[in-house]
Structure 1
Amino acid sequence: MSFARFLTKRLLQGAFVVWGVVTIVFGLRVIAPGDPANVLLPPDVDPEVRRQVIADLGLDEPLHVQYWEFISGIPVGDLGTSLTTGTEVTSRVARSIPATLELAVAATVVAVIIAIPLGVVSATNRHEAPDYGATLFSLAGISTPNFWLGVMLIIILSVQLNLFPTSQRAIGIPAVFELLFAGQLEAAGEGLVTWLWYITLPAITLGTYFTALITRLTRSGMLDELGKTYVRASRAKGLPESLVRYRHVLRNTLIPIITVVGLQLGTLIGGAVITEFVFDWPGLGQVLINSINSRDWPMVQGSLIVISVGFVVVNIVVDTLYSYVNPRVGFDG
């Protein structure tokens, strides 16, 4: 299968997934108890005023009409208007995307940097102290709830030791790049340090489970590859152990790791909700929780649609990377 056909197929599949998410979200709004008009109106409002507001929101239209009006605006970026603030959902969500992407990518980088070397050490020292230590670390990481870990990190490292800020995001990567392109190198460097200072605790909190997962996956993949014939042949030829271990064995282990990293990156984009809430990080998760609490359905719908699109895009990118990591994997998926 050519790359163009592969990409077309994946895009069509992704569009179908996004359509399914959109339909489910619309259905949840329909069956959810309560009236969106209550967000805008006090309980003792005149019934005529209530009917007028419902008509202005289009909630008195048949469901199929509401559904068509909802989905027809999505391809052109029209996700509706917030019930609580009156702002465009698209612009509000767009302002939150960089913060969520920064957190998800930072958590992934933290996980990969720690997990892959730890998994290699664990596999090459099987049934020894490093292996047992990595296993205990993985068990602790998988078993620890993110919200609890975040609170503990804030109490210990922020409140008691005053090493990191407790919350917020003082500066974002886009602002750092603006300073860099403007030639303000010193300010850009200070901004990057500040960004790292603020994102460290949220990234560790979000990436802990991911770190444990990749560690176990790397260990199992390395153990499987180390027992194969080509490894024994490479050693018999006198190749250095480091070359065998990292050039051949680890590279062949990367296929499942890339799969999990890609899938988890998409999951982190949507799963950062609790972490963003704990650290008051101004991303999509924060917007989503606030919108749910205020029953702002247009904002809830817009946030979920963007999250689903991000998940689909990440999966397409991961599928494309397969062939470059291992030439035996073509565009036949």
Structure 2
Amino acid sequence: MSYAKFLVKRILQGVFVVWGVVTVTFALRAAAPGDPVNLIVDPGASPELREQIRREVGLDQPLYVQYLEYLQGLVVGDLGFSYQSRRDVSIMIAERLPATLELAIAATIVAVVIAIPLGVVSATRRHEPADYGATLFSLVGISTPNFWLGIMLILVLSVQIGLFPVSGRPVSFTDAVVSLVTTGYAHDLVTWLRHIALPAITLGTYFTALITRLTRSGMLDELGKPYVTATEAKGLPGVLIRYKHVLRNTMIPIVTVLGLQLGTLIGGAVITEAVFNWPGLGSRLISAIYAVDWPLIQGIIIVIGVGFVCINILVDSIYAYLNPRVTDE
């Protein structure tokens, strides 16, 4: 199969997955108990007013007609209207999406900076205390719930020591960089770093443990290959062999998992955002669930699903470009 056909196949599969997400979320809204009109007007409103609103928003139409109209709106970028907030859903999501992306990318950076060196050390010092320590760290990282870790970090590093702020996001990364470029002062950037540090560590802990184990297993496979023995026989330094040759050959599956996990982090930041009051899609989703704001709930879930699918397609395309054998699978 050619690269172009492979890419078209992945895109079509992604479109099908997005359609499934849209269909499931619409079905959940239709199956939810209660009258949707109650979310727009007071339950004590007159029957005439309720019927008028039902006609205006299309709730008097058959369910399949409502579904088709919703799909038509999504095609042109219309995610609906939040009657609780009296605002377009697309605008409400656009306000919070940058904060979620900042947190997901920061968590990925934290995981990579910690996990890859730790995995290399664990592989090169197999069955030594460093290897056992890395294994224990991975086990603890995978087993620790994010919400508990976040609360403990707040209690110790914020409340007791006062090293980091408790919660919030007073400045965005974009504004901090603009301030640094225009004024030459890094105050806003430092403020952003101090506020995102604990949420990024909390969200990236599980990811760190996963990448550590993946790096270790990949390094062990590569260290047993003949080219490593040949480079050692040439007298190359051990650090150069490990990081330039062995780690480089291990990076393809790591990069693949990094891309896939980035999509998972975007959707999995809900609890972390709630713990740290981080103004992202996760906290907005929880607020929408409490308010039973179905248009906003649907919009956020669809955006997260589309983001996850796009990242998967991008990773698959890069992987197929680097390793053409993938297109034959």
Q: Note closer, same or farther for the CA distance 1:235–1:323 as it changes in structure 2 (3 Å cut).
A: farther
2:191 corresponds to 1:194 = yes
SS of the residue aligned with 2:82? coil
Contact residue 169 and residue 282 of structure 1 kept, 8 A: yes
The 5-angstrom pairing of residues 12-161 of structure 1 reads: 12-161=12-161
Contact residue 81 and residue 88 of structure 2 kept, 8 A: yes
CA distance in 1, matches of 2:92, 2:123: 46
Letter matched to residue 117 of structure 2: P
TM-score, normalised via structure 1 length: 0.93
The 5-angstrom pairing of residues 156-175 of structure 1 reads: 156-175=156-175
Q: Note closer, same or farther for the CA distance 1:40–1:328 as it changes in structure 2 (3 Å cut).
A: closer
Unpaired segments ≥5 residues, structure 1: none
Instruction: Select which of 269, 272, 285 maps to 1:272.
Output: 269
Displacement after TM superposition at 1:50 (Å): 2.3
What are the Cα deviations for residues 287-306 of structure 1, in whole angstroms up to 9, with x where unaligned? 11111111111101110111
CA distance in 1, matches of 2:139, 2:99: 29
CA distance in 1, matches of 2:188, 2:239: 38
CA distance in 2, matches of 1:138, 1:131: 11
Unpaired segments ≥5 residues, structure 2: none
2:251 corresponds to 1:251 = no
Contact residue 168 and residue 280 of structure 1 kept, 8 A: yes
CA distance in 2, matches of 1:164, 1:35: 45
SS of the residue aligned with 2:81? coil
What are the Cα deviations for residues 237-271 of structure 1, in whole angstroms up to 9, with x where unaligned? 33322222112211121122112111110000000
CA distance in 2, matches of 1:75, 1:227: 52
Q: Note closer, same or farther for the CA distance 1:273–1:125 as it changes in structure 2 (3 Å cut).
A: same
Instruction: Select which of 295, 311, 322 maps to 1:298.
Output: 295
CA distance in 2, matches of 1:281, 1:47: 41
Contact residue 36 and residue 296 of structure 1 kept, 8 A: no
Contact residue 115 and residue 209 of structure 2 kept, 8 A: yes
Q: Name the % identity.
A: 64
Letter matched to residue 160 of structure 1: Q
Displacement after TM superposition at 1:125 (Å): 0.6
SS of the residue aligned with 1:219? helix
Displacement after TM superposition at 1:3 (Å): 4.7
What are the Cα deviations for residues 21-53 of structure 1, in whole angstroms up to 9, with x where unaligned? 111111111112222222233333323322222
Contact residue 222 and residue 250 of structure 2 kept, 8 A: yes
Contact residue 180 and residue 189 of structure 2 kept, 8 A: no
Partner of 1:224: 221
Displacement after TM superposition at 1:179 (Å): 3.1
Q: Note closer, same or farther for the CA distance 1:10–1:185 as it changes in structure 2 (3 Å cut).
A: farther
SS of the residue aligned with 1:79? coil
Contact residue 3 and residue 320 of structure 2 kept, 8 A: no
TM-score, normalised via structure 2 length: 0.94
What are the Cα deviations for residues 139-185 of structure 1, in whole angstroms up to 9, with x where unaligned? 1100100001111111111112111111110111122244356x222
Letter matched to residue 29 of structure 1: R
**Range with bigger deviation, 42-51 or 201-210:** 42-51
Partner of 1:315: 312
CA distance in 2, matches of 1:37, 1:150: 39
Instruction: Select which of 276, 289, 294 maps to 2:286.
Output: 289
SS of the residue aligned with 1:167? coil
